[in-house]
Structure 1
Amino acid sequence: MNRNVLSRRVLAGVALAALALTGCASNNNSTEPGGSGGDSAYANLSGELKASGASFPDAYYQEVIEAFKGEAGNLTVTYNATGSGTGKKQFGEGLVDFAGTDSLVKDTDGVAAGSFLYVPTVAAPITVSFNLQGVDKLQLSPETLAKIFQTDIKTWDDAAIKADNPGVELPSTPIVVAHRSDGSGTTSNFTKYLDAAAAGTWKLGSGDTVAWPASTQGGEKNTGVAQIVQQTNGAVGYVDLSDAKATGLKFAAIKNKDGQFVEPTLEGTTAGLEGAEIADDLSYNPLNAAGATAYPITAPTFIIVKTSYGDAAKAELVKGFLTYLLNDGQDLAKEIDFAPLPASLKEKALAQVDKIQG
């Protein structure tokens, strides 16, 4: 579990215990936490929602689901972080009520065109996390990054890495590239970034999966990649900020479109969002955005929902949960290293939710 999430829940438990003792002493008949939600606008929601998909926003979704229990105690929401590819497939097969994805739906995902809507939720930086004994700070340009991940550069003292890091003593340690082994929106966004920022250098294309060189190592979900990096001297991999921080990883500053080396922060993510163009279907791409302070590997994430559920009660449950996520749930984002939506995009996302039919 993400350390920030765990600490929040421990503090919440302490607070609830104190509240319970106070209630006993004063004989108050207050609503119990986790019950029907009392006067909550969501208190009348009752049933079950199942979802799966992207592991990139999993820490955020789990935190929102946990908080939502206190508002809609009779509604059970589960989210299984299977990866974007599996989530889209399960959604198309009708196995889940909604799915999380960091990449857009393609014809090969098994989701019928016109049968779904994109609902943006949060955004976050994809870090380039590394484990290199004796080196705590690292800067990488897009071209150098591309060469590292397609294994054209094989040791950390390569001339290209030295050029990005003047004055830093780099060892001759072999580079171990770690990547996602499952179909992943994180992979899609990371490779789309390299396609755009290192055009002409990056040769592997982009997508939920790519043909990584045989010498690289694959890990399942963001946590799997983080584990490889954590355990291997010389390793480098792409990991969402929340999991990278929870695992204690170091991450590189990446050269952005304006020529500035920027570290993966929420401030840099927000700057990247400000430069993104939003399509009519609410898909958007903040990767390689312009701006001196923009972190260039800023990734969006979405929930895909049915345009019509054929079940009015189910549609109301989905709309209720997503309305909470886009309102109260946005306040939880920064505490778990995710950037909330800009106000204008949030309003568009809420309007999208209103389009869901029973």
Structure 2
Amino acid sequence: MARTTLCAGLALGILVAGCGGPEAQGGKAPAAAITINGAGSTFVNPAMSKWAYAYHEAKANTTVNYQSVGSGAGIAQYKAGTVDFGASDAPLSDKERGEMPTPTLHIPVTSGCEVLAYNIPNIGSGLKLSTEAIAGIFLGKIKTWNDPAIARPNPDLKLPAIPITVAHRSDGSGTTFIFTDYLTSSSPEWAKGPGKGKTVNWPVGLGGKGNEGVAGLVKQTPGCIGYVELAYAMQAKLNFGPLQNKSGEYIPPSLESASAAANAAVESMQKDVRVSIVNGAGKDAYPIVGFVYVLVSKTPKDPTKGKAVVDFLKWVLGPGQEMATPLQYAPLPKAVVDLNMAALGGVTTG
């Protein structure tokens, strides 16, 4: 896994923010340097890398290290106490929450779209995929790109009769959780079979590690299709298109369509922020959208580090929101930011 530093610039992967502490000014000793460590979601890594870099620029005594290892591995590291925060696109279940060493808060930090990226010879972006076609492809029942279920909403495209190769995650993944949550909510057959989870028994396909691995499989394999977070698809210059939503409309992924899904969940989040926003109501809602949650201890063993994590997250919830929009992450609704700020106020920070 690549590791970069602020001296080398910003890149996807693990970001180690910091090339040195601040110098004393006016005879005052500089603030003590502190490093906070996080691990988890590859979905959020482009945003987390940018946040870590910018936060160190704003607060030079604080370094944020983030390991993009997947939600499952991030949860495991957080549980083991080897990192100060975890990041997951899949919220902890009540059972998982009870297994954490200390009371754990879920802090949604952003939301974003997952796309179905494909590599079809002579077919560019814009292929429309229906709910029926998506389920059929990932169940292994639709086997070629010229299948009627794919061709029907794309009458102007000459789809080739080549085999479909499915790419999915091989590691425990919140991106998989969001996608299989969508399949479970939209396909009764999928719900009865693989179901939803950070890992599932895939009926068909090749496995890749991380969003990077799935994007790589799609790029290298003619006839391939896989689910990846929007920023990864754009950075890898992969093709993707509009997906059919619950209202029957074909909606492209965008900040606006992700925000429409997030805004529809605000009322239910007043009781519990662990909500599903796939297949959201409304004709403009993109169907495969999820929140990314930072997992943080309410009673950290090291209150100084606990305060540093809280300060970083408050910054993410403030100026960090607009900073992530060029990477196609949707800013949180104000009501969700307010819920987060109230929750962070309850963290013991000494």
Give the match for residue 302 of structure 1.
293
Distance 2:23 2:138 in 1: 50
- 2:247–2:282 contact (8 Å) kept in structure 1: yes
Q: Give the SS at the match of 2:53.
A: helix
Bigger CA drift: 180-189 or 325-334? 325-334
Give the CA deviation at 1:352.
1.3
Relative to structure 1, is the Cα distance of residues 45 and 159 closer, same or farther in structure 2, using a 3 angstrom cutoff? Answer: farther
Q: How does 1:113-262 map to 2 (within 5 A)?
A: 115-136=103-124, 137-200=126-189, 203-213=193-203, 215-262=204-251
Q: Which amino acid aligns with 2:277?
A: P
Aligned residues with identical type, % of pairs: 34
Relative to structure 1, is the Cα distance of residues 97 and 33 closer, same or farther in structure 2, using a 3 angstrom cutoff? Answer: closer
Among 287, 302, 315, the alignment partner of 1:311 is 302
Distance 1:114 1:76 in 2: 24
Per-residue deviation, residues 258-308 of structure 1 (Å, max 9, x unmatched) = 110011111111111121231534222211001111101011111000010
- 1:36–1:72 contact (8 Å) kept in structure 2: no
- 1:35–1:70 contact (8 Å) kept in structure 2: no
Q: How does 1:1-358 map to 2 (within 5 A)?
A: 35=22, 44=31, 46-106=33-93, 107=95, 111-112=99-100, 115-136=103-124, 137-200=126-189, 203-213=193-203, 215-276=204-265, 277-358=268-349
Aligned residue pair count: 327
Give the CA deviation at 1:33.
11
Distance 1:75 1:102 in 2: 25
Distance 2:92 2:254 in 1: 28
Task: Please tell me the root mean square deviation across aligned C-alpha atoms, in Å.
Answer: 2.4
Q: Which amino acid aligns with 1:58?
A: N
Bigger CA drift: 109-118 or 321-330? 109-118
- 1:37–1:70 contact (8 Å) kept in structure 2: no
Give the CA deviation at 1:37.
11
- 1:117–1:281 contact (8 Å) kept in structure 2: no
Per-residue deviation, residues 28-57 of structure 1 (Å, max 9, x unmatched) = xxxx9983798xxxx957311111000000
Relative to structure 1, is the Cα distance of residues 36 and 262 closer, same or farther in structure 2, using a 3 angstrom cutoff? Answer: farther
Distance 2:108 2:102 in 1: 17
Poorly superposed stretches of 4+, deviation over 3 Å: 32-38, 43-46, 106-111
Q: Which amino acid aligns with 1:314?
A: K
Q: Which amino acid aligns with 1:296?
A: P
Q: Which amino acid aligns with 2:34?
A: G
Distance 1:45 1:129 in 2: 45
Per-residue deviation, residues 40-92 of structure 1 (Å, max 9, x unmatched) = xxx95731111100000000001000001112211111010110001011111
Distance 1:102 1:129 in 2: 19
- 1:92–1:109 contact (8 Å) kept in structure 2: no
Q: Which amino acid aligns with 2:275?
A: Y
Distance 1:191 1:37 in 2: 52
Distance 2:291 2:244 in 1: 19
- 2:261–2:281 contact (8 Å) kept in structure 1: yes
Per-residue deviation, residues 295-353 of structure 1 (Å, max 9, x unmatched) = 01011111000010133212211111111111111120111111110111111111111
Q: Give the SS at the match of 2:246.
A: coil
- 2:21–2:33 contact (8 Å) kept in structure 1: no
Distance 1:282 1:241 in 2: 23
Distance 1:340 1:139 in 2: 26
Per-residue deviation, residues 211-266 of structure 1 (Å, max 9, x unmatched) = 013x5111000010000001111000000000000000011211011110011111
Per-residue deviation, residues 147-168 of structure 1 (Å, max 9, x unmatched) = 1012111110112112232232
Relative to structure 1, is the Cα distance of residues 201 and 94 closer, same or farther in structure 2, using a 3 angstrom cutoff? Answer: closer
Q: Which amino acid aligns with 2:244?
A: K
Relative to structure 1, is the Cα distance of residues 289 and 238 closer, same or farther in structure 2, using a 3 angstrom cutoff? Answer: same
Q: Give the SS at the match of 2:57.
A: coil
Q: Where in structure 2 are there 5+ consecutive unaligned residues?
A: 1-5, 11-18
Distance 1:80 1:187 in 2: 18
Q: Where in structure 1 are there 5+ consecutive unaligned residues?
A: 1-5, 11-31
